[in-house]
Amino acid sequence: MSDPVVDPKVMDEIVSLCKRRGFIFPSSDIYGGLASAWDYGPLGSELKNRVQRFWWREMTQIHENIVGLDASIMMHPRVWEASGHVENFDDLLVEDTVTNERFRFDHLTQEQQESMTSPAGNPLSAPRKFNLMFKTNLGPVEDTASTIFLRPETAQGIYVNFKNVVQTTRVKVPFGIAQVGKAFRNEIVTKNFIFRTCEFEQMEMQYFVHPSEDEKWFDYWREQRMAYYEKLGIRMDRLRWQEHGPDELAHYAKAAYDIEYLFPFGWSELEGVHNRTDFDLSRHSEFSGKDLTYLDDEKKERFLPYIVETSAGLTRSVLMVLADAYEKEQVGENDVRTVLHFHPAVAPITIGVFPLVKKDGLADLAREIERDLREDFSTFYDQGGAIGRRYRRQDEIGTPFCITVDYDTKEDQTVTLRFRDSMEQVRVPVSEIATRIREEIKSYKRTSDS
Ligand code: GAP
């Protein structure tokens, strides 16, 4: 089956919509922005929080043997020696000798690499190694003893807390530790909006297993992670697996697969599932001098667990959710609407509430209904402009349900419930709105496709 057709121009439309409607702004905008840094606005921060919560619920609530952690960004510098990042976390940097534009060597085509020419056809400088970790100093004295790194992945915070978690909870191998947080990489090339940035967020889960069961759990987590994206309402023909070849494997991995998404700029990595063996725990044992083996009380067996890691970018997931949801849809013969088909569980606003007109007590009635719903849902009240335009404003920010209060509401206590995707409208008793919307969220399936 051939890939769905994507249009690179859509990226510009998404960036523009994000700025116009308050999802994502350039960082330090009033100073002209900072390359590759972005701020999440009122709708963007809601969207990001909800994507994070969706992942957190899936990983910790649905799986009873996964616990959470929130480790510090700044860690002991020895952590990064043990992890191999000081030695190995490099990219090869090359420069166009005419324009001085920089490239990651591995991002060039094979032909460009072999002929050592840039995409513009100019000679390239010799490749040189570039460590991606950001260095800073802890305390007022800037010397090597005070040098620390901003963590380039959240995973290490989990490994160094493995013993703490085993000792303070009742978890038994196999079990997982989940964490969401910021990570920093001094990327040579940042591009495609929030896809690759120097400051980003990860959602990682490390699953500790018996060494004899690593392949079983690796397969299990691959299956679980793909199923997760289906639950999130992502179009499955835009997701695929990409296996890392032997020369692509990270220094810690025995096997690795990426989940790739078909972004408007092409297939690109969204998440990695890695079999990290006992590399991390054995290195931290060695460098810290602490015994990180696990004792299986029942089998009276002591061993160093293997780790199966699922590592997704949160900020990259937000871009994926936006790209997957975005559609410019033909309505009738002469009309086009912009709509974001977010899964209702991650939409920044769940319900828009409107009075048909402001007068005759309809605004007060709509306000009262909105106030009641606000206890359980994220709502937005809007009484400005024609009702059709109010619907379109909510479509553009992905609000899945809108409720209109009209003259009949006063008579029979029903409202119009309008669905974003199908634009279908039904009458619902006011007393049943909350139950109906909860059911709609649970059974949501995207009905429209671009
Ligand atoms: N702990 C393993 C690890 O960090 P990775 O493949 O380097 O593995 C995992 O990163 C995920 O983090 C990627 O699949 C991507 O979603 C996200 N990610 C990595 N670098 C990123 C960057 N510069 N900007 C945004 N997201 C990034």
pLDDT at residue 449 in the model: 59
Based on the number of CB atoms within 10 Å of its own CB, is 446 exposed (0-12), middle (13-18) or buried (19 or more)? middle
Residue 160 lies in a domain: yes
Query: Which residue in 263, 380, 398 sits closest to 342, CA to CA?
Result: 398
pLDDT tens-digit readout, 1-16: 789 999 989 999 999 9
Contact in structure between 417 and 436 (CB atoms under 8 Å): yes
CA distance 49 to 23: 12
309 pLDDT more than 80: yes
Contact in structure between 41 and 24 (CB atoms under 8 Å): yes
Determine if ligand 1 sits within 6 Å of the CB of residue 85. Answer: no
Q: Whose CA is nearest to atom 6 of ligand 1?
A: 272
315 pLDDT more than 60: yes
Integer Rg of the chain from CA: 25
Phi-psi region of 203 (alpha: psi -120 to 50; beta: other; left: phi over 0): beta
Please tell me whether residues 290 and 366 are part of one structural domain.
no
Q: Whose CA is nearest to atom 12 of ligand 1?
A: 313
Domain that residue 220 falls in:
9-76+152-322
Please tell me whether residues 235 and 181 are part of one structural domain.
yes
Determine if ligand 1 sits within 6 Å of the CB of residue 202. Answer: yes
225 pLDDT more than 70: yes
Number of domains in the chain: 2
Determine if ligand 1 sits within 6 Å of the CB of residue 151. Answer: no
Please tell me whether residues 213 and 296 are part of one structural domain.
yes
* CATH number of the CATH domain containing 422: 3.40.50.800
Q: Whose CA is nearest to atom 19 of ligand 1?
A: 313
* CATH number of the CATH domain containing 303: 3.30.930.10
Please tell me whether residues 355 and 292 are part of one structural domain.
no
pLDDT at residue 109 in the model: 94
Q: What percent of the chain has pLDDT over 70?
A: 99
- How confident is the model over 226-243, as a mean pLDDT? 97
pLDDT tens-digit readout, 134-145: 999 998 877 777
Please tell me whether residues 37 and 185 are part of one structural domain.
yes
- Ligand 1 centroid–CA 249 distance in Å is 14
- How confident is the model over 333-352, as a mean pLDDT? 97
Query: Which residue in 242, 174, 256, 255 sits closest to 208, CA to CA?
Result: 174
User: Average pLDDT, whole number, for the chain?
Assistant: 95
Mapping DSSP to helix (H, G, I), strand (E, B) and coil, where does residue 206 land? strand
> DSSP secondary-structure letter at 146?
G
Please tell me whether residues 227 and 369 are part of one structural domain.
no
